[in-house]
Amino acid sequence: MTIDDNHTHFCIYCGSRIEPGQNFCADCGKPVYRQEPRIEKKPSEYDAKIDELEREYKDKQSKAKQLVEKQFDPNHLAYERFNSSITKSNNLFDIQVGIARKMAEMDTADNPFVVKEMENKLQTLQTFIDKMEDLTSELVIHLSSNKKDTEDINNLFNDMDELIDSVKDY
């Protein structure tokens, strides 16, 4: 119900009658209370996909972090570098998820540009997941082989850093 309809309205503070279009009570001077209309967010077709990608990423980054902790001494420079890279990746992934959620709130059915951008955003999120999966695989191989050479893992972190930089530039 709005103040501009034909119903009788009264001030919630003093009970005086409020006329349509009136912004302040003529008797007590308080602002007229108007209940904001509730806007219900309709579920997007993308909400479930974003949730799924977010769960998948969090699971993979948690496994990668556990493997880094098993593989490297916390005082080792590689340990700090790997954790720093994972943290940067997490922060940027979370930002991208936030952007994807805002995009999903838009009406995408009639807007091919928004649909295309949403698909690009989902692909970006998937790329983060793929890189985290690659890192986990390399760490498992490295851990099982007990190699001292960390070149493959360093290459993966370089790839992750490049991904992070490219998404920041985008």
User: Cα(81)–Cα(68) distance, rounded to whole angstroms?
Assistant: 10
Q: Long-range contacts made by residues 71-80, C-beta under 8 angstroms, separation at least 24?
A: 71/139, 71/142, 71/143, 78/150, 78/153
Q: Which residue has the higher pLDDT, 130 or 158?
A: 130
pLDDT at 3 over 50: no
pLDDT at 53 over 50: yes
Phi, psi torsion values for 127, nearest 5 degrees? -65, -40
- For tokens 């928004």, the residue is 114
Looking at residue 108, its pLDDT comes to 62
User: Cα(151)–Cα(112) distance, rounded to whole angstroms?
Assistant: 43
Q: Kindly state the percentage of the chain with pLDDT values over 90.
A: 24
For residue range 27-41, what is the model confidence (pLDDT) as tens digits? 999 988 777 666 666
pLDDT tier, 93 (very low <50, low <70, confident <90, very high otherwise)? very high
Specify the pTM.
0.66
Q: Kindly state the percentage of the chain with pLDDT values over 70.
A: 80
